[in-house]
Amino acid sequence: MAHVCIHWFRKGLRLHDNPALIAAIRDCKELYPLFILDPYLHDNTRVGINRWRFLISSLQDLDCSLRKLNSRLFVVKGKPEEVLPKLFTKWNVTKLTYEYDTEPYSLSRDKNVTTLAEERGIQVIYKISHTLYDIDRIIEKNNGKPPLTYNRLRDIVKVLGSPKKPIPAPTLEDMKNLASFSEKHKQEYGIPSLEELGLDTSSLAEEIFPGGEQEALRRLNKYMQRTGWVCSFEKPNTSPNSLSPSTTVLSPYVTFGCLSARTFWWRLAEVYQGRKHSDPPVSLHGQLLWREFFYTASVGIPNFNKMQGNTVCTQVDWDENQEYLAAWREARTGFPFIDAIMTQLRQEGWMHHLARHAVACFLTRGDLWISWEEGQKVFEELLLDGDWALNAGNWQWLSASAFFHQFFRVYSPVAFGKKTDKNGDYIKKYLPILKKFPPQYIYEPWKAPRSVQQAAGCIAYARRPSASSESPTKKQGLKRKAPTVVDLMQKKQKKS
Ligand SMILES: Cc1cc2nc3c(=O)[nH]c(=O)nc-3n(C[C@H](O)[C@H](O)[C@H](O)COP(=O)(O)OP(=O)(O)OC[C@H]3O[C@@H](n4cnc5c(N)ncnc54)[C@H](O)[C@@H]3O)c2cc1C
């Protein structure tokens, strides 16, 4: 029987290595590639403007690739459980395909949708292609529990063998028997612009990492051509504060599924072939296994994105301090290294892994003693690569709540950045107000003599006007609008 099929894109915004899409095309006479803007997932408190832009670009790119195959992308808004049944009827759908998604929300959504489809006699097919392996198989091989160490995960995946090889994108030939869409359909179901979505785009900076499969593959090719760099890649030796990224920045593309993790894996394997190369955990293959590690943990551990009810998470009596949290989130802690990283996050939606270490440690066990769940929320909103499993897993690691327990090994907000950037060029890039500060003070501007601060045109710690005659006038220095964490800590010390 020739089917009328919806292929439902959620993550997996690509044509290459998309087994569910290939399953959709098989025995199909009419194909509806669909994306649903779900008010739960695509909500402004979860998705910041940078990630919105990445999503919309990715959808435009997907639509463009589908049009080259005489097809197109259909976009609708609403709760999938409500939207899909209407479309099933409207389009006389007989088959539904999608990529398997392990997030708790997605699992329950997909269960509901599958029931609704099957009640209507619609065939439902899903395929695993967001991760290297079938995560449930890893858990099964570990006696029903997620491996809690990276080495254990490695032992298990060794038994499972190499990840599946990626499959090619569909071709015009594959699509030749499909009906093309009527003019009416061509106009309806378009991709909304950011403005049409009512989003405020005034804070958007230059688009450094445009969304979409074409850009993902271009970026992958570019990095894979640097064979020496790929083979000698050791994550701990990459720099958190280089002026251009010292790692691949493929994470947003992997998160949205513009790039298949298996394609990434096998391209690396080709580069490694016959050459001496680094190994997990520090190699690029090793990075993809970290992803697999946290995905497995997120599937096997209940309440993975929370402290309470999470069986592996140390229960900590974190402080609640809205002032400190806001200062961290808004890049005004007063520690230039921390504020530069948070500025990069706000402007570009990405920062290096070790930079994430520094700010995550600072917020939690290092300095502010604020719950990792608060940091997780901020990252979820602002990161282009915001990923439910990886965000929760890495925050638990960094706060020494799970997987890593040496809570006393803390990153200094001053010394850590100096190791790879003595001059503070990274700080100057993201906090241009400190541009004129001499290198010896740029990590701790409050230690500079007042004359140096004045010459640099920035007073790091403005005393209250009544303090001493040395106090900066409005003209001499920059008056901060809100108190910094350094201010707040000093105030607290004075009180006690
Ligand atoms: C507190 C905290 C929160 C984080 N939240 C996220 C998140 O929401 N989404 C996200 O993708 N990564 C997250 N990471 C992990 C990591 O920082 C990023 O994946 C990495 O920096 C992405 O840059 P890249 O693509 O250049 O990495 P590369 O070093 O080039 O690595 C290649 C790929 O491996 C994967 N990877 C690398 N490091 C990790 C890691 N530690 N854990 C899991 N996968 C990894 C990513 O898919 C990445 O694209 C977080 C890390 C920390 C410390």
Query: pLDDT class for 180, splitting at 50, 70, 90?
Result: confident
Check which CATH number belongs to the domain holding 25 and give it.
3.40.50.620
| Cα 353 to middle of ligand 1, angstroms | 6
Please state, in angstroms and rounded to a whole number, the distance separating the CA atoms of residues 322 and 319: 10
**Same domain, residue pair 365 and 389:** yes
Whether 288 and 320 share a structural domain:
no
Structure tokens at 246: 């010292």
The reply to whether ligand 1 has any atom less than 6 angstroms from the CB of 52 is no
For the stretch 236-254, pLDDT in tens is 999 999 999 999 999 999 9
> Within this chain, do residues 291 and 309 fall inside the same structural domain, yes or no?
no
For ligand 1, the distance from its centroid to the CA atom of residue 232, given in whole angstroms, is 19
pLDDT for position 479: 39
Task: Output the CA 103–ligand 1 centroid distance in Å.
Answer: 17
Q: How far is the CA of 8 from the centre of ligand 1 (A)?
A: 26
Centre of ligand 1 to C-alpha 123, Å, is 36
494 has pLDDT over 80:
no
Q: Are residues 418 and 323 in the same domain?
A: yes
**Does the annotation place 318 within a ligand binding site?**
no
Mean pLDDT of the chain: 93
Q: Same domain for 159 and 283?
A: yes
Same domain, 91 and 119: yes
Residue 374 near residue 325, CB atoms below 8 Å: yes
What is the residue with the minimal CA distance to atom 40 of ligand 1? 290
In this prediction, residues 428-442 reach a mean pLDDT of 97
Domain that holds residue 272: 131-167+212-300
Lowest mean pLDDT among 170-184, 194-208, 416-430: 170-184
Asked if residue 69 belongs to a known ligand binding site, the reply is no
Question: Which of these three, 274, 300, 326, is where a domain ends?
Answer: 300
For the record, the structure tokens of 334 come out as 């007063």
Are 266 and 152 contained in the same domain?
yes
DSSP 251-320: HHHHHTTSS-HHHHHHHHHHHHTTS----TTTSHHHHHHHHHHHHHHHHHSTTTT-STT-TTS-----B-
Listed residues 68, 102, 129: the one ending a domain = 129
Same domain, 396 and 275: no
In a domain, 186, yes or no: no
Domain membership of residue 74 (yes or no) is yes
Ligand 1 touching residue 291 (CB < 6 A)? yes
pTM confidence score: 0.94
In a domain, 196, yes or no: no
Task: Give the tens place of pLDDT for each residue, 419-429.
Answer: 999 999 999 99
- List the strands of the sheet with 74-77, edge to edge: 74-77, 28-37, 3-9, 95-99, 123-127
Q: Is 170 in the pocket of ligand 1 (CB under 6 A)?
A: no
Quick check: is 60 in a domain? yes
Q: Take atom 37 of ligand 1 and give the residue whose Cα is closest.
A: 287
Query: Which amino acid would we find at residue 102?
Result: T
386 lines ligand 1 (CB under 6 A): yes
476 has pLDDT over 90: no
88 is in an annotated binding site: no
Q: Is there a domain that residue 202 lies in?
A: no
**Considering only CA atoms, which of 14, 67, 35 is closest in space to residue 217?**
14
Q: Is residue 185 part of a domain?
A: no
Residues 191-196, mean pLDDT to the nearest whole number: 96
Are 411 and 348 within one domain?
yes
**CATH number of the domain that residue 248 is part of:** 1.25.40.80
